[in-house]
Amino acid sequence: MGKEVKTNAMRILDKAKIKYEMNMYECDEFIDGIQVADMNNQAYDESYKTLVSVGKSGAYYVFVLPVDKELDFKKCAKIVGEKSIELIPVKDITKVTGYIRGGTTSIGMKKNYPTIIYEGALQKEKIIISAGRKGEQIILSPEDLAKVVNGRFENFISQ
């Protein structure tokens, strides 16, 4: 059996001595977070996606939220102190984050962008996020995620 190839996110967690679990699943092409959660029998409120936005100023912001929720752009802009924000174009994901669509995680992006995690995560013992590669997930505590990405918890989802 071959040696496990760790993602950048896993190496960062290992270096920070943060405990996490791995989950792997079959995935050849992009599927959204809801499909991944369904495929793995995971609760939507424990399965988190990572969305990258850009503010009117040109600054980038990372939002981590349950797969079945959407951003409230007005709340997001207010939280990060921008007049407005919008999601970055899909074609820019790799250039901005270093990750591919469907494998983006807030851990270990090209730069340390401000990261905001949905406050509902604090009600969970563990949440599931992408490991930085399609078909791989990291399961960890929300507090540990916030610690490693220097993130904060806010309510920014649309109701």
Q: So where are the chain's domains? A: 8-154
Which pLDDT score, from 0 to 100, does residue 147 have? 97
**CA-to-CA distance for 63 and 52, rounded, in angstroms?**
6
pLDDT in 10s for each residue of the chain, 159 residues? 445 688 899 999 999 999 999 998 887 776 788 888 988 899 999 999 999 999 999 999 999 999 999 999 999 999 999 999 999 999 999 999 999 888 899 999 999 999 999 999 999 999 999 999 888 999 999 999 999 999 999 999 987
Q: Residue 4 has what DSSP assignment? A: P
- Domain 8-154, what fold? YbaK protein (3.90.960)
Provide the whole-model pTM: 0.94
